[in-house]
Chain A
Amino acid sequence: MSALLPDAAARARELPNTSGALTALLLAVDAGGLGGAVLDHPLHEQARTYALLVQGWLPAGAPMRRVPASVTADRLYGGVDLAATLATGKLVAERGVLAGADRGVLVVPMAERLGVSARTAICEALDHAEIQVARDGIGDRHAAQVCALLLDESVDDEVLHPALRDRLAFSVRLEGPVAEDVEAIAEMELRTAYEPIVQQARERLAQVAVSEEWVTALCQTADAFGVDSVRAVLFALRTARALAALRGNSEVTEADAEKAAALVLAPRATRLPPPPPEEPETNEDEQQPQEQPEEPDAPPPQMEQPPEPDQPEQPPESDDDNAQQQDSGELLREAVQAALPPGMLEQLMQRSTAGTLAGRVGQETPNLLRGRPRGARSGLPRGGARLHLLETLRAAAPWQKVRPAPPSVAGVARPRVAVRREDFRIRRFIEKTGTTVLFVVDASGSSALYRLAEAKGAVELLLAETYARRDRVSLIAFRGQGTEVLLPPTRALARAKKVLAALPGGGGTPLAHAIDAAIEQALGVRRGGSSPLVVMMTDGRANIARDGQPGRKQAEVDALSAGARFAALHIPALFVDTSPRGEVVARRIAEAMKARYVLLPSADAKALNGLVRTAISMAEGGA
């Protein structure tokens, strides 16, 4: 180790003031308690620097494992080392990545693409600091306390799964000063200067006290910003503790609590707090203060005698000093508000009641596991693929004469068949894809509200009746100058209802735009492995051209050419004409799209739903 330059040591006495280097320090202090961080669209070089920082500050010898998002669960859990098992004739286990990353760092680029089983494995490690491997003959538990750094590189409608986000304390965007700070601290001198500080903080952590006031304030702040998860508040509390420990204190200060709230709660905010009330309320109806014995030797609150099981849970005592509480809560609220990521404030202000989980999460499981069986192909039975035993033996059979007999192992009967890697056959399945019904609804003009109400009813009926869980529904509205995806493809009725609760109407009819948007969505649905069915609902009176200029003539020409493009892609579609007596133009556009034209001037949701069902079964039958 080189001698420290005096100024590096001096600089290290100050904690970094941006979230980048600071979160790395905190993770190194309490890796087990904080889970890790989401790195928000970093350059890979930056992510690497950050990961190395955390690893460098962890106790010596901390491993770092990096896995692609396509990692299979058996790589994470560990399983049978097939080649070694066959070669030796004894069961040889291989340690999984999670066990290998125990007390170290796990890095996952493109984490939004993690498959469902890999995601579950990582969540298990984060929840229990260990994983259970359920295989006969293989050690069934491994310590796996990992500090997970997940790179969120999602585009369009992908999102990093909320189950993962919820289990990681921080979300870090490495840009501008934050990135510069990380770069600067990653310099050898400074990084080394922090080492003893982190180490002392780790040792001190268990002794850091947090006063009631800050616990209360953090809970209130979480509530004010609509952060529901208990994990979030615990992370904030632990962060405050780790900060105090880093500063060499044994007590969490106001500055620690503020910083912790800003780091942990701000990125999770789902709403803005209501403006503070004119007069401080005493919340009488919410909590009945309970007289607290003011004896000096009263037990701490969490150690109060457990209530008798047959008595109702007693409300915990509230702080007598209500004004004091309000103040602390207020301070933290300001800190969080100030720390809201750019753009978020605006988003929160505009946010309606729409659900927060948008977009497609992860990929569907590969077709090695589901659907109808269809023969076998060469491959190893791993990553969830299932061995086709008969076909494997069949492949091995012709070679038995020429292959040397497998080695016999003491105590194990000699295998009768010499099977080699290249003989393995795994089962193949054909996956039946579901249908995604895309409602494209004309929200312009006078009948817009009525039409939207029908579409809304049809969407709900469809979802309520969807017995085959494979089907999804989405809703695009078009009016005025453009289109808007009101509801990305979903199966969740609850979510759809939330979104559909408030739909505005009025404006002109940009039909060409709508068809373009339908094409784009339908192609996206296809990429996701589902079959699209488009349901257009309009009276067909296109009056907004592609360039956004009003004008019936050009608008129709544009709509027809968009329709032709639509037809060329063979997207099954239903064209519901909602005009009173049918529009010639609507019919022509429907023909151009090669869509089934239906005249339904006073459609009710039920009739529409029946139509769509028929169309689905036709599309599935004809696909």
Chain B
Amino acid sequence: MRPVYPFSAIVGQDEMKLALLLVAIDPMIGGVMVFGDRGTGKSTAVRALAGLLPPMKVVQGCKYGCDPNAGGALCDECVKRHADGHHPRAVFAPVPVVDLPLGATEDRVVGALDLERALTTGEKAFEPGLLARAHRGFLYVDEVNLLEDHLVDLLLDAAATGENVVEREGVSVRHPSRFVLVGSGNPEEGELRPQLLDRFGLAVDVKTPTVIATRIDVIKRRDAFDRDPEAFLAHWHKADAKVRKQIEKGRARLDGLTVSDEVLERAAALCSALGTDGLRGELTLLRTSRALAAFDGADTVTLEHLRRIAAMALRHRLRRNVLDDAGSTTRVERAVAELWGDVGTAA
């Protein structure tokens, strides 16, 4: 097992790092879509963040990793345990990061009848799928654009409802399945359907750093990590712990933060100026700016917070404009500048 690269040692890629931190604070923001070339450290960042999160409490012996304090959201088996008056122990487990292999079949994703047991013992048992394993963690899908439509729909439905319902082959199972979907894609290798993109909360672009000095730094750190992972991890341990604290504090502050009417109106105006349909864009703007305020330790959500996350919350929701070749990021920034005066564009 190769060790996990520390999150705080990732050079640059600030937008991706921020997006992941914000969804870790408020998973309700929805998934993150990462556009970028090969070898830019997309999956490294996801893994690193999960490695940094505090371990979670799970019901001992639960196949689905249920949260002992979840109240309503329990799998059938845990509900039954409760009904029978059992109080299983809670144990700690690391936050899961599950890779969805491209060739995965529906069975593997949602789970299926355990055929071997059905055939050898005649028992109807359910074999949980990847959605069960990703519960309360991250589901990483490389090259989302190459995934089959029906699978993508499945994932997005589960991500949106927070549970997985299986009705097939004579088994009927439902279990909680709350996860942050992180998709990666290379825009050059097939487009993503607009309705699919729209269901991701945030979208970020990652690029190979153009500044040579940054590139050198990336290589040096990566090389130091490869050669002596333990020393490297020890060295970054403190910085990672700091980020972990920030996430925990942010989570604790989140519920106490309200968004003023002024910020609400600004968000709505921005969406209508950009012509993004539906409420998803606005909702995402609000949740994300609130998560950012919580992460910053601010008392109120300000216009500045909104401005900092506007591009990542909206860039993938713009209608493609054949006449306007400007990238979507540019278009969002332009709209922000026009609406709110030029308060400097986000770096």
Binding site for B on A (CB under 8 A): 33, 73, 80, 85-86, 89-91, 115-121, 124, 127-130, 132, 134-137, 141, 162-163, 166, 206, 210, 215-216, 218-220, 222-223, 228-234, 237, 283, 286-287, 300-303, 306-309, 313, 315-316, 318, 355, 357, 365, 369-370, 381, 384, 386-387, 389, 412-413, 415-417, 419, 457, 460-461, 463-464, 466-467, 469, 490-495, 497-498, 605
Contact = CB atoms under 8 A, between A and B. Distances in A.
Interface string B231-244: 01001101100110
Given A120-B102, A230-B39, A492-B188, A370 B148 contact: yes
24 contacts: A73-B103, A85-B120, A117-B102, A117-B103, A134-B129, A134-B130, A137-B116, A223-B215, A228-B38, A230-B39, A230-B40, A230-B222, A286-B213, A287-B213, A302-B221, A308-B242, A309-B8, A309-B246, A315-B214, A384-B103, A389-B118, A412-B121, A469-B145, A491-B190
B250 to A, nearest CB: 12
Interface string B38-77: 1111010000000000000000000000000000000000
Contacts of B154: none
Q: Which of B40, B133, B212 has the most CB atoms of chain A within a 10 A radius of its CB?
A: B212
Contacts of B117: 91
A415 B213 contact: no
Contacts of B94: none
Contacts of A229: 37-40, 208
Contact of B194 (A85, A467, A495): A467
Contacts of B216: 215-216, 219, 316
Nearest to A495: B188
Contacts of A230: 39-41, 208, 215, 218-219, 222
B105 A384 contact: yes
B339 interface: no
Contact of A386 (B107, B114, B128, B219): B107
Given A135-B127, A232-B39, A90 B120 contact: yes
Contact of B191 (A132, A228, A493): A493
A416 B122 CA distance: 6
B169 interface: yes
Nearest to A283: B212
B103 A469 contact: no
Contact of A234 (B38, B150, B223): B223
A187 B250 CA distance: 65
Contacts of B40: 228-230
Nearest to A464: B320
Interface in B78-124: 99, 101-108, 113-123
Contacts of B103: 73, 115-118, 120-121, 365, 384
A222 B114 CA distance: 50
B226 interface: yes
A579 B309 CA distance: 51
A229 B44 CA distance: 14
Contacts of A369: 105-106
B162 interface: no
B113 A417 contact: no
Contacts of B8: 306, 309
B11 interface: yes
Nearest to A218: B219
B173 interface: no
A417 B119 contact: yes
A608 B130 CA distance: 44
B346 interface: no
B239 A309 contact: yes
Given A91-B116, A494-B191, 7 more contacts: A85-B120, A128-B1, A134-B108, A223-B212, A303-B235, A318-B213, A467-B194
Contacts of A121: 101, 103
B252 interface: no
Contacts of A387: 115
Nearest to B196: A469
Contacts of B133: 134
Nearest to A127: B43
A416 B208 CA distance: 60
The binding surface of chain B is classed by DSSP as helix
Interface in B150-195: 150, 169-170, 187-191, 193-195
Contact of B99 (A124, A384, A460): A124
Nearest to B152: A469
Contact of B116 (A85, A120, A315, A464): A85
A316 B213 contact: yes
Contacts of A303: 224, 235
A233 B150 CA distance: 38
B2 A116 contact: no
Contacts of A129: 1-2
A466 B239 contact: no
A143 to B, nearest CB: 8
B38 A128 contact: no
B12 interface: yes
Contact of B224 (A128, A302, A306): A302
B299 to A, nearest CB: 17
Given A85-B120, A228-B39, A229-B38, A286 B212 contact: yes
Nearest to A315: B213
Interface centre among A89, A120, A386, A413 (most CB of B within 10 A): A120
Nearest to A388: B169
A417 B122 contact: yes
A132 B97 CA distance: 12
Q: Closest 4 CB pairs between A and B?
A: A117-B103, A229-B39, A306-B239, A302-B224
A166 B193 contact: no
Nearest to A88: B120
B325 to A, nearest CB: 8
A130 B195 CA distance: 35
Most buried by B among A222, A417, A457, A469: A469
B3 to A, nearest CB: 11
A541 B221 CA distance: 63
B212 A219 contact: yes
Given A136-B128, A309-B246, A234 B222 contact: yes
B230 to A, nearest CB: 13
A232 to B, nearest CB: 7
Contacts of A318: 213
B9 interface: yes
Nearest to A286: B211
Contacts of B238: 306
Given A120-B103, A234-B219, A415 B114 contact: no
A479 B123 CA distance: 69
Contacts of B325: 497
Contacts of A357: 188-189
Nearest to B240: A306
Contacts of B214: 315-316
B217 interface: yes
B220 interface: yes
A233 B190 CA distance: 27
A442 to B, nearest CB: 23
Interface string B123-157: 10001111001000000001101101110000000
B102 A493 contact: no
A234 B226 contact: yes
Contacts of B2: 128-130
Contacts of A127: 43
Contacts of A90: 120
A162 B115 contact: no
Contacts of A80: 116
A301 B191 contact: no
B223 A237 contact: yes
Given A219-B216, A386-B107, A457-B322, A287 B191 contact: no
A460 B322 contact: yes
B191 A302 contact: no
Contacts of A497: 325
A493 B320 contact: yes
A159 to B, nearest CB: 12
B333 to A, nearest CB: 20
